[in-house]
């Protein structure tokens, strides 16, 4: 993962060498002339929500046919609010809180209560991370950018009007804190490079999310409101919403851990 590095002089040389921040992290003193301590940006812990490709509090609507790889669930709303049919869930299990919903459902209110709680905890974890590496990048327009690993923060919405690339190693982590909405334009792509993995990418949004027609997205979306996948859009990640998820002939693939 990307190092978050701090440097500070030893006590004996504080007067000669000021505090230096190389990237971000936690300072420490040592007996040497300048101690370097590195910490790593940890991924967001999803808990039992990890197995879900789609998890919603208030239901899932669908325009047939979508292809879902991973568990699907809704809670506390009734299973009747899950609009998928069984053949659309290619791998994984459809969980409901009661006997309503798709014919292939498994009723497990206890598991869903825990998963939704873990989803909330994951949202709070992502939103609560401090010392961002990048603040208000692009004034909220990140289309066309290549993004290094790190913690990104916006007090606005974020737009993706052209392709975006996340480049880094297989253990690097990206966390995006977005106070507003997240919108990806139609036919645009978020792609990974350099060995980066979707399981290490997290988009925390206070506002609604819209992934445009035939667009492709990477990473787990933790939304405080709804997530709308437009016609033919795809995601290598998770749709974890505190309200509704809407699908229109989409492909949703949970990243492998």
List pLDDT tens digits, range 5-55: 333 233 232 222 222 222 333 333 344 443 334 468 999 999 999 999 999
30/153 same-domain check:
no
34/80 same-domain check:
no
β-strand partners of 38: 5
Distance CA 14, CA 73 (A): 56
pLDDT recorded at residue 39: 66
61/86 same-domain check:
yes
106/161 same-domain check:
yes
pLDDT bin (cut points 50, 70, 90) of residue 137 is very high
pLDDT bin (cut points 50, 70, 90) of residue 215 is very high
β-strand partners of 60: 82, 245
54-78 burial code (b ≥16 CB/10 A, e <16)? bbbbbbbebeeebbbbbbbbbbebe
The encoded tokens of residue 46 equal 């999803």
117/35 same-domain check:
no
- Backbone φ, ψ for residue 140 (5° rounding): 100, -10
17/116 same-domain check:
no
Q: What percent of the chain has pLDDT over 70?
A: 84
Residue pair 60/74 in contact by the 8 Å Cβ criterion: yes
Mean of the pLDDT values across residues 150-178?
98
Distance CA 186, CA 223 (A): 20
30/71 same-domain check:
no
Residue 110, classed as helix, strand or coil, is helix
The predicted model scores a pTM of 0.87
- Tell me how many domains the chain contains: 2
Mean of the pLDDT values across residues 90-96?
98
Distance CA 175, CA 60 (A): 25
34/114 same-domain check:
no
Domain that residue 124 falls in? 47-253
Mean of the pLDDT values across residues 73-95?
98
pLDDT recorded at residue 4: 53
9/68 same-domain check:
no
Rounded alpha-carbon distances, angstroms, from residue 154 to 107, 135, 138, 230: 39, 6, 10, 24
Rounded alpha-carbon distances, angstroms, from residue 6 to 18, 152, 169, 187: 12, 18, 21, 40
212/141 same-domain check:
yes
Distance CA 89, CA 65 (A): 10
- Is 164's pLDDT higher than 60? yes
220-247 burial code (b ≥16 CB/10 A, e <16)? bbbbbebbbbbebbbbbbbbbbbebbbb
109/17 same-domain check:
no
Rounded alpha-carbon distances, angstroms, from residue 39 to 12, 61, 171, 216: 24, 42, 13, 32
- Is 66's pLDDT higher than 90? yes
**Which residue did the predictor score with more confidence, 140 or 257?**
140
172/194 same-domain check:
yes
CB under 8 Å to 236, separation ≥6 — which residues? 198, 216, 217, 218, 219, 253, 255
pLDDT recorded at residue 256: 84
């Amino acid at each position: 993962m990307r190092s978050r590095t701090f440097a500070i002089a030893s006590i004996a040389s504080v007067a000669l060498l000021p505090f230096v921040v190389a990237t971000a992290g936690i300072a420490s003193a040592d007996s040497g002339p300048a101690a370097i301590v590195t910490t790593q940006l940890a991924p967001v812990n999803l808990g039992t929500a990890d197995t879900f490709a789609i998890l919603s509090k208030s239901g899932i609507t669908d325009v047939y046919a979508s292809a879902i790889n991973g568990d699907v669930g809704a809670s506390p709303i009734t299973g009747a609010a899950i609009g998928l049919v069984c053949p659309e869930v290619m791998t994984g299990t459809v969980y409901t809180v009661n006997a309503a919903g798709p014919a292939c459902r498994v009723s497990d209110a206890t598991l869903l209560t825990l998963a939704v709680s873990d989803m909330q905890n994951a949202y709070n974890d992502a939103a609560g991370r401090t010392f961002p590496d990048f603040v208000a990048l692009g004034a909220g327009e990140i289309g066309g950018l290549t993004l290094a690993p790190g913690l990104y923060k916006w007090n606005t919405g974020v737009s993706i009007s052209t392709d975006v690339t996340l480049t880094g190693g297989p253990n690097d982590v990206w966390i995006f804190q977005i106070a507003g909405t997240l919108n990806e334009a139609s036919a645009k792509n978020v792609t990974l490079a350099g060995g980066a993995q979707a399981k290490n990418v997290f988009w925390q949004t206070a506002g609604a999310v819209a992934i445009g027609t035939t667009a492709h997205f990477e990473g787990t979306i933790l939304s405080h409101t709804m997530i709308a996948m437009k016609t033919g859009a795809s995601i290598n990640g998770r749709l974890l919403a505190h309200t509704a998820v809407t699908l229109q002939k989409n492909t949703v693939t949970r990243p492998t851990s």
